[in-house]
């Protein structure tokens, strides 16, 4: 079984490092981290992930801008995207079935178990 490739885009380097370690420890994922949102499309083209998880609010390009740029690229447009963000309340996400504006959301802070479940749900799509 090949490992699923996940691209994490978030300006919080400590968070992405922890998430990368936790996800790679499962043996199911190869994770690439990008802490500069303006490099997201370039990195995605190089890495060709099976899933992109990103923050909504970041310096430079915010998550909405990143998704828009990814969806404009023919080779990236079908890659599933999920948001991990502190800008939306957990109750709001749950009230909408985990989806806001057509994208899956997970509220920060999230437990490792919640992150694993979120990732598993998205890579199965």
Q: Average pLDDT, stretch 15-40?
A: 96
Please tell me the pTM assigned to this model: 0.91
Overall fold of domain 4-123: Rossmann fold (3.40.50)
**CA contacts within 13 A on the Cβ side of 63:** 22
Q: Average pLDDT, stretch 48-56?
A: 95
What is the per-residue pLDDT for 1?
Answer: 67
pLDDT digits 0-9 by tens, 57-94: 899 899 999 999 999 999 999 999 999 988 777 776 67
β-bridge pairing 103-107 and 99-100? antiparallel
What is the per-residue pLDDT for 60?
Answer: 86
Strand partners, 49: none
Residue given tokens 């979120």 in the structure block:
118
pLDDT at 96 over 70: no
Range list of H helices, the chain? 13-25, 40-47, 63-71, 90-95, 112-123
């Amino acid at each position: 079984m090949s490992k699923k490739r996940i691209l994490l885009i978030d300006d919080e380097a400590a968070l992405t490092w922890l998430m990368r370690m936790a996800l790679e420890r499962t043996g199911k994922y190869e994770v690439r981290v990008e802490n500069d949102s303006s490099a997201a499309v370039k990195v995605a083209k190089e890495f060709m992930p099976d899933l992109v998880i990103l923050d909504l609010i970041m310096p430079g390009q915010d998550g909405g801008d990143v998704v828009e740029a990814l969806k404009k690229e023919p080779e990236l447009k079908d890659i599933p995207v999920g948001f991990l963000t502190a800008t939306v309340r957990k109750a709001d996400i749950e009230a909408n079935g985990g989806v806001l504006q057509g994208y899956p959301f997970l509220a920060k802070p999230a437990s490792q178990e919640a992150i694993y479940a979120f990732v598993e749900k998205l890579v199965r799509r």
